[in-house]
Structures are given as C-alpha cells and as structure tokens.
Amino acid sequence: MAEVQTGNILMGSLGLYEVGEFLGRGGFGRVVECTKMGSEETFAVKIVDNLRAGHEEMEAMKIISSLNPDQNNLIKIHECFRHKDSMCLVYEMLDESLEGFMERRSFLPAHLCQIRAIAQQMLVALSGLESINVLHGDIKPDNIMFVDQVTNPLKLKLIDFGLAVDPQELETGTKMQINPFRAPEVILGVPLDVSVDMWSLGVVLASLYIGDVPFSNKNDYETIRGLVQLLGLPEDDLLHLAGAGLPFITGSLLNAFTKSLYRASVSWCQSNIYLCVICIAMVTNVVVLYNLGQWEHVDVK
C-alpha cells in the first residue's frame, strides 16, 4: 500500500496534484482531496491499493465516459495513473453524499419534492448505464452525491463504479451489493440483470421517505424476513429458481411468519409497514411513469 500524506505530490499525466484533506477510507483504499498545482482546481483522487481492482474501475470508467456525465448524472473522471503500487483515479470534486445529508438531518424523512428530484436524476443515470450495458452493483446513499448544495441544491450524481460490471457477464449466484440494499435475486441466487440496481434505488428512496431503511441490515436472513413480511412470499417460479437461497424462505422462517406475521402491534404496523407500502407504491409509480415517458422533468438548476 502506497503511503500518502497531506502535502505529498501525486504525478499524473495531466498534471501534479498536492494531497490535502482525506475524504474517506474503505476496503478499496482512500479518497483524498487534491489541488492541481498551478491552478485552483480541486479533485477527489481515489487511491486504490489493489492494482487489479483499480484497473477494473478504470476500464469501467472508460466505457461510462462514452456518456455525457452531466446529462446522465454520473461522476466525471479527469484521468487515472499509477502511483507506486496503487492506482489513482482523479474524479471531479463533489459535495456531500446522500448518507451524509441523511445523517446531518438526524434521519428525518425527506420532503417528497426532494425525493422526486433524486428519483428522477437516478433513473436517468440508470437508464444511461443500461444503454451501455453497465450494472452499477453498489447503489446506496454513500454512492449518491450532491454536486454543489450552494449553487445547485438538488443536483446529484451517481459515483463509485468499482463494482460495475456488464450484466451479461454475471453468473447466477454472484454475491453483490450490501444489506439492506441487496436485491432479493442476489440473496436467492437466481439469474441477475440490471433490475438489481433498480431495487437498490427503490430502497434508497424508501429510506429517504421514512427516515430509515425499510429492511434489516443485519444479514440476508433478516432482509428476506422483512421482505416477506412486507411483500409476501415470492412466486412459485422464483422459488423454483432459488436454489441455494431457498432455505432463507422455508422451514422455521415460514413457521415463524404463520404464527406472528399478523400479530404485530398496530402502532408498529402504522409506523413501519404502512409507511413502507406507501413509499414502495410511490416508487413504483415513479418507475412506471418514467418508462411510459410521462415523467415530468424536474428542474434542479
């Protein structure tokens, strides 16, 4: 792992970058704010310690760069280069993540006008990715960022394509996404397509609407348990395809549901399931209108 400290200089092909504030850390490496020397331009430089992972993200960004990043609400890459034994990807500097926005507001439910604007922009992003056969694979509040809340309060972009993949290359049973944003198809081990991104987006929007994630994030079992409580059992044809995931929705889980599903307190149902149902209905309506071309444009300038 390449040691990087504040004040260090990173040498790219398009310029030199002075390392400033550390913006975040993760299993992939670090993200640092850098100033391009000789100018006042700032960038978010993602330093990926695993060269293979860094190369894969670079290749994904080459494909994604065929789209207009501003029109499709996707983060813009400036350049990428190798620094010692790490890969550096230089991205445009954005503002706050949706996760940060929710935390700063103490996870109070967002206004419908805000959710509507976020939904519209993320649907445009997913539509663009689908047009070039790219599945994001990790949609969550951390990976949706505001561009500039001062000059353009509701303008957002989708970021972090480290797990992006061509959906046609996904093998059945591939594990991806994190709970509680993991799609049921992933948990159940059935064939996957770009709809798993749509599911994650739906959960993000539901979380904004109710101020909390609608499903448990402890493990796959708890996620499926919440899904069945809210939406009922999957259809028989899906269960037939489920394979290794089938134990999640059979046996003791089903016995527990038959005994307790309809015995939840009225107050719990009103504060959780009822709100989730409303939100899912709202999200479904958004998707249907968008697909029919009846989604009214939201001006976020």
Q: Which of 12, 28, 31, 295 is nearest to 138 (CA)?
A: 28
The single residue of 138, 197, 236, 237 carrying the catalytic annotation is: 138
Which two structure tokens, joined as six digits, stand for 32? 């640092």
- Reported pTM: 0.79
Q: Which of 163, 60, 46 is nearest to 93 (CA)?
A: 46
Which two structure tokens, joined as six digits, stand for 77? 């890459």
Over residues 120-131, the mean pLDDT reads: 91
The C-alpha atoms of residue 55 and residue 51 are separated, in whole angstroms, by 6
Measured CA to CA in angstroms, residue 54 lies from 20, 108, 140, 299 at distances of: 21, 36, 20, 35
- When mean pLDDT is compared across 30-44, 120-134, 206-220, the lowest value belongs to 206-220
> Which domains, from first to last, does the chain contain?
9-92 (3.30.200.20), 98-291 (1.10.510.10)
> What pLDDT is attached to residue 271?
43
Q: The tokens 């993991």 sit on which residue?
A: 182
Contacts of 75 (CB under 8 A, 6+ apart): 69, 91, 92, 94, 145, 157, 158, 159, 160, 161
Please calculate the CA angle 147-149-154 and round it to the nearest 5 degrees.
Answer: 75
> What pLDDT is attached to residue 185?
82
Asked if pLDDT for residue 65 goes beyond 60, the answer is yes
Asked if pLDDT for residue 214 goes beyond 50, the answer is yes
pLDDT bin (cut points 50, 70, 90) of residue 83 is very high
Q: Is 46 annotated as a binding residue?
A: yes
Catalytic residue list contains 95: no
Q: Which of 163, 73, 87 is nearest to 120 (CA)?
A: 73
The C-alpha atoms of residue 166 and residue 47 are separated, in whole angstroms, by 24
What is the per-residue DSSP string for the chain? -----TT-EEE-SS-EEEEEEEEEEETTEEEEEEEETTS--EEEEEEESSHHHHHHHHHHHHHHTTS-TTTTTBPPEEEEEEETTEEEEEEE----BHHHHHHHTTTPPPPHHHHHHHHHHHHHHHHHHHHTT-B----SGGGEEEEETTTEEEEEEE---TT-B-GGGPPTT---S-TTS--HHHHHT----THHHHHHHHHHHHHHHHTS-SS--S-HHHHHHHHHHHH-PPPHHHHHHHGGGGGGGSTHHHHHHHHHGGGS-HHHHHHTHHHHHHHHHHHHHHHHHHHTT-PPP----
Asked if pLDDT for residue 275 goes beyond 70, the answer is no
Over residues 278-293, the mean pLDDT reads: 46
Asked if pLDDT for residue 286 goes beyond 50, the answer is no
Asked if pLDDT for residue 240 goes beyond 70, the answer is no
